[in-house]
Structure 1
Amino acid sequence: MIKVLIVEDSIAAQQLLTHILNGEPGIQVIGTACNGAEAIKFVNKIKPDVITMDYYLPDATGLQVAREIMETKPVPIIIVSATWTADQYSEAFNLMEAGAVGTMKRPPGPGHSEHESLAKELVQLIKSMSEIKVVRRLPKFKGKQFEAAQIPFLARRIVAIGASTGGPPVLDTILSQLPADYPYPITVVQHIADGFLDGLVNWLQPKCKLKIHIATNNQALEPGHIYIAPDRFHLGVTAQEQTMLSTAEPEHGIRPSVCYLFRSIAKIYGSRAIGILLTGMGKDGAEGLKLMRENGAITIVQDKDTSAVFGMPNEAIKLGAAQFILPPDKIAQSLILQQTSDQQKR
């Protein structure tokens, strides 16, 4: 039985979510909280398997509450809200930075055209998130010391990054450190709920010196630009060094798929690529990263201590796909060192 705590200041919303979740076999709402203090008090007494939380609470921000829970008794937190404005998207991604693992629109009441589909999505998300083991988020992580990877010189590179659960704050850490003159295109697949991609780009762009695009078809891959796969399309590359979007079947139940991107990069760029697989549940990207390594690419996975969910990186490690296992800041430093090395050897 999956035990759920609902943190929501609206009594009507509490009742709606309770009705949806208690109506699903295998899920039980074990409590509700109207504010942050109640939520923290509840978690300290009875640890739920999953928490659904509104982005705004009357006595504290959701960010403060998520931070305290993740620093003391970590539980998968899903941000569920009725409406999403640009400011609320930013708050949702800040909550992910604090440790929240998912976001979605709150289902409307019965009779609404979206009720059934969003209720089903909420149930599935709770079931999926209940299976992950989240890690304690220390205020300042003090773990193993890592050196940045020494990546050998090769001209005309491309970087391919795949991420899922917990990915947005890690992308922020890596991409925000890259200098404005970074000389290679970067392609990204981030598993994210439909409709949240614009918010992700708007959240990342002010902190990033490189231009971020939601990829379109046949777009030239320019140095120092970032191309993120759009909702419901696989992202690949062509021999003409352009983006390629596809509606081919989902892989691992997902479109866009990290594996699709990595296979395409391996085929076109071979040893001139750098593949990076970040936090996420499941196996997407592991086999693709292995193919990239077999084709001579440099391959990096995020380490366990900093991964919100170690599923995807761990699968890649088990397949022998990872040359380097690094925390996000060292991944960024490795890319910067590689840039400097390449420029010196030209």
Structure 2
Amino acid sequence: MTGSAVTGGRASRPARVLVVEDSAVVRHVLVRLIRDDPRLELADSVETAEEALRLVPRLRPDVISMDVRLPGMDGLEATRRIMAECPTPIVIVSDASADPALQVSMNALRAGALSVVEKPAGWPVGAAGGTAIATQLYIMSQVPVIRQRLSHGPAAAAAATLPLPRLRPRMVGMAASTGGPQALSHIMGALPATFPWPILLVQHMGAGFMEGFAAWLGTQTKLSVSVARPGEALRPGHVHVAPADTHLMLGCGDEIRLSNVPPLGGQRPSANALFASLAREGAGAIGILLTGMGEDGATGLKEVRRAGGYTIAEDRSTSIVHGMPGAAERIGAASISLPLGQIAPHLAAIATATSTLAIAGAEARLP
């Protein structure tokens, strides 16, 4: 597994944006938003993916605003080509709906795009919506894009040599932000259909995309996936996804608890809120913190570890953004740091060992 950084922070000048959008109305809106924001500068705006592919090597934009429904080549294939030939931060600008465009958007995130924002309907754009788009473009322009080549075989072999924790987990908490859909699809896709524990999942994403994200994630894995509902009982081998703009926590009696209390550290759902609720399970909980900006999840993961649970942070070598897992490492919240490709095999090995211990214990109690 290798990676090479190809962009860096540019605090001294505005971020140069290439807009790829076939709708003249939406393209006009995006250009206006970029020109009105001192953090951004328009590199160019084009109507097709083919034009974008010709321009990217010459313009070297700091970030690309990418539509997914384009004439000719679509935004997914354009993302794949750009990430393979000239890796550049890409923000997907998409309709927030359950139509095929949303599925293409999620697949573009898996292919290397960094985030997805809701497409503006027209001008003028509401202050909050316009600021959200411009801010995402600026923030993502600062992300060092890493070209990753994930190899399941060697990763699984390496994971097989890892020491296994002496605990009997009952549930898994997992959280991610920037780069999360790609990381989560990789982990979930590698877990067996017999995976025995419920997974509670926080992914930072725009509110309009959470239902579609959960539906898309369900196509990437043998496990069942749904947006969490209040009071819902945890189910073995089921992924409970935090709803939009709502904290997801473990409630009493192994059930889902949702909360609309204010954001924690600027995040709702909050990884810290999820992990803190799992900490009371002690050795019954596994906490996993994946790629993402900021520090959400670090202190909550430390609570899980202090309580006797097992905690995993994604290693720097595969994190698209090492902010969240890096913060966990710095404060001693991680029992172990693993490259992305080793996380699912390690979880599967823990599950197998736990099952073997349970069978051995049951046999020992027989008369």
TM-score by length of 1: 0.92
Q: Spell out, residue by residue over 1:257-310, the C-alpha distance to the aligned partner (whole angstroms, 9 max, x if none).
A: 0011011111x2112211101111111111111221122211111122322222
Cα 1:71–1:140 shift into 2, 3 Å = farther
Does the alignment pair 1:73 with 2:73?
no
Does the alignment pair 1:337 with 2:352?
no
Q: Which runs of 5+ in 1 are unaligned?
A: none
Does the alignment pair 1:12 with 2:28?
no
Partner in structure 1 of residue 320 of structure 2: 308
SS state at 1:160 partner? strand
Matched-pair identity in % = 37
Does the alignment pair 1:197 with 2:210?
yes
Distance (Å, rounded) in 2 between the aligned partners of 1:34 and 1:309: 30
Between 1:253-262 and 1:48-57, the stretch displaced more is 48-57
1:218-237 aligned at under 5 Å gives the runs 218-237=231-250
- 2:25 touches 2:122 (CA, 8 Å); kept in 1? no
Aligned residues: 343
Distance (Å, rounded) in 1 between the aligned partners of 2:236 and 2:150: 35
Partner in structure 1 of residue 296 of structure 2: 284
Counterpart of 2:175, as a letter, is: G
Distance (Å, rounded) in 1 between the aligned partners of 2:194 and 2:151: 30
**319, 323, 327: which one aligns with 2:335:** 323
Distance (Å, rounded) in 2 between the aligned partners of 1:135 and 1:231: 28
- 2:96 touches 2:102 (CA, 8 Å); kept in 1? no
Distance (Å, rounded) in 2 between the aligned partners of 1:76 and 1:213: 29
**152, 165, 168: which one aligns with 1:155:** 168
Partner in structure 2 of residue 299 of structure 1: 311
Between 1:2-11 and 1:275-284, the stretch displaced more is 2-11
Distance (Å, rounded) in 2 between the aligned partners of 1:140 and 1:320: 28
Counterpart of 1:29, as a letter, is: L
SS state at 1:207 partner? coil
Does the alignment pair 1:250 with 2:301?
no
Partner in structure 1 of residue 43 of structure 2: 30
Partner in structure 2 of residue 52 of structure 1: 65
Distance (Å, rounded) in 2 between the aligned partners of 1:59 and 1:5: 18
Counterpart of 1:261, as a letter, is: L
Shift of 1:131: 2.5
Cα 1:333–1:138 shift into 2, 3 Å = closer
Counterpart of 1:129, as a letter, is: M
- 1:279 touches 1:302 (CA, 8 Å); kept in 2? yes
**210, 213, 231: which one aligns with 2:226:** 213
TM-score by length of 2: 0.87
- 1:80 touches 1:105 (CA, 8 Å); kept in 2? yes
Q: Spell out, residue by residue over 1:304-330, the C-alpha distance to the aligned partner (whole angstroms, 9 max, x if none).
A: 232222211111112222222223331
Counterpart of 2:344, as a letter, is: A
- 1:218 touches 1:243 (CA, 8 Å); kept in 2? yes
Counterpart of 2:88, as a letter, is: V
SS state at 2:19 partner? strand
Q: CA RMSD in A?
A: 2.2
SS state at 1:123 partner? helix
**117, 124, 129: which one aligns with 1:118:** 129
- 1:71 touches 1:139 (CA, 8 Å); kept in 2? no
Shift of 1:69: 1.6
Between 1:149-158 and 1:95-104, the stretch displaced more is 149-158
Q: Spell out, residue by residue over 1:76-97, the C-alpha distance to the aligned partner (whole angstroms, 9 max, x if none).
A: 1111135644311111111011
